[in-house]
Amino acid sequence: MGLVTVFLEILRQPTIGGVVSELMMFIAPLWVAVIVGVLVGWAWKPKWANLGREMLEDCSASKDTAAASPNTSSTGFGSISGLNSIKFQIPSCISWIADDGAQKDSSTVPPTLDSNCSSSTQLVEVKTGLVTGEDLEHLCRLVEVKDGGPAWIQMMDRSTPTMSYQAWRRDPETGPPQYRSRTVFEDATPELVRDFFWDDEFRMKWDDMLIHSSTLEDCPTTGTMVVQWIRKFPFFCSDREYIIGRRIWESGRLYYCVTKGVPSSVPRRNKPRRVDLYYSSWCIRAVESRRGDGQLTACEVLLFHHEDMGIPWEIAKLGVRQGMWGAVKKIDPGLRAYQKERASGASLSRCAFMAQINTKVSADYLRSLESSNNDASELETHDSSKKQSGGNNIPRLLVVGGAIVLACTLDRGLLTKAVIFGVARRFANIGRRL
């Protein structure tokens, strides 16, 4: 009845122009609501809506692959279907050779997944220059806090009975926010943790953001891999695609693991949106347990991460801060499940197998990298909210209103709504302080 009353009041205007103007003012918000609803609905379209189209595209792609010549389909990134058929096979007759040409000790050679050595099986060598010694040098400087970047700001210090976690953030003059974290897992070896983080097949069991992974290329000599990830984002944006190059260097029981976005000839799609700027690398080493018994039975992981997800950086920082601990808490149960699976004698996945192919470097070489840059950044312990960031400025009213509308209209679970309301509250507090 309220709408009818308003409509009758509009018709009582003395002039036609007044009636038209009042009708326009009455209808305009409805059209805006419809348009916003369509846009939001499209952005949050469920995956089953694209199922039919993806099946047709897959069928079409398979026909094109079958019609292509063998030479065309067996080289480069384009032959994903060909790679999939061999990615879980490796001939036992391959000699594992390190970068310096020295043959590895047979006791350190990981077992092959397939003892059959077929002459028709081909291993695709990863293109050189994707992950190099320069990446190792950069990671070493990050680990020793000697990269010359801005100061790190501590943002979290939490723990559980079997894990402790600390996190820092910094805002470079250009580029997205950068994160540094230190995680210590009790009663875990560096080798197990190394395999755990590399094992994409097992990651699907504990990382609910990873919805697809595949190996595009790998190198049996250096252990370098190129993988494709598709990750699910919980709010404000659609899924994201990553083409990641990764490689591990080993010095004793110290492991430097580099993963970063690399160029690829894999065709881009509108959805999921590809993330080009991606860096996520870590240093893994044995440390003393917090039980204080002097035994190196714990494992420390120093992680350095940044990426440009296509989200305004202020929103990304708030989202990360709200959801960081909830995501980190899932890692420890996943690691313990992985320990049990490996202890039961389960076979290695291809990614875990590749994680055991490391490029060996000497401690002297690492020390030379660490001493090459003496400009150390300082660790600051004040809260990150006190530092003015240089991300994109967003109208606060729009963010608050949009967050509330999304939280009230979209059914994406309690975590998503908590994050959205957290963003709204944070910006409201900023507005009050100003």
- Do 168 and 118 share a structural domain? yes
Same domain, residue pair 316 and 410 = no
Are residues 350 and 425 part of one domain?
no
In a domain, 6, yes or no: no
What three-state secondary structure class fits 194?
Answer: helix
Backbone angles phi, psi at 331, to 5 degrees: -70, -45
Q: Indicate if 415 and 276 belong to the same structural domain.
A: no
- Could you tell me the CATH number of the domain that includes residue 239? 3.30.530.20
Same domain, 321 and 406: no
Residue 123 contacts by C-beta under 8 Å, 6 or more apart in sequence? 86, 90, 91, 94, 218, 220
DSSP string, 239-308: -EEEEEEEEEEEETTEEEEEEEE----SPP-SSSEEE--EEEEEEEEEE--TT-SS---EEEEEEEEEE-
**For residue 58, is it within any domain?**
no
Instruction: Give the Cβ contact number of residue 176 at 10 Å.
Output: 20
CB 352 within 8 A of CB 199: yes
Does 9 map to a domain? Answer: no
Same domain (yes/no): 158, 208: yes
Query: The tokens of 268 are what?
Result: 């881009």
What is the number of domains present in the chain?
A: 2
What does DSSP assign to residue 122?
A: -
- pLDDT (tens, 9 = 90+) of the chain, 434 residues, equals 556 676 667 767 777 777 677 777 767 776 676 576 656 555 555 544 444 444 444 444 444 444 443 343 333 333 333 333 333 333 333 333 333 333 333 333 344 333 333 333 333 445 557 899 999 999 999 999 988 889 999 999 999 999 999 999 999 998 999 999 999 999 999 999 999 999 999 999 999 899 999 999 999 999 999 999 999 876 557 899 999 999 999 999 999 999 999 999 899 998 899 999 999 999 999 999 988 888 899 999 999 999 998 888 888 888 888 889 988 999 999 999 999 999 999 999 999 999 999 999 998 888 887 666 554 444 544 444 444 444 444 445 454 455 544 544 444 444 444 445 455 555 545 444 44
- 266 in any annotated domain: yes
Q: Are residues 427 and 361 in the same domain?
A: no
379 lies in the same domain as 410: no
Domain end, chosen from 386, 406, 425, is at 386
Asked if residue 126 and residue 243 are part of one domain, the reply reads: yes
Does the residue 70 lie in any domain? Answer: no
**Residue 392 DSSP class:** -
Per-position DSSP letters for 200-222, written without gaps between them: HHHHHHH-TTEEEEEEEEE-TTT
233 and 204 assigned to the same domain: yes
Q: 409 and 380, same structural domain?
A: no
Give the Å distances, CA to CA, from 158 to 15, 298, 381.
68, 17, 14
**Domain match, 210 and 261 both:** yes
* Domain enclosing residue 86, as ranges: 78-386
Does residue 110 lie within any of the structural domains?
A: yes
The answer to whether position 36 is within a domain reads no
In a domain, 154, yes or no: yes
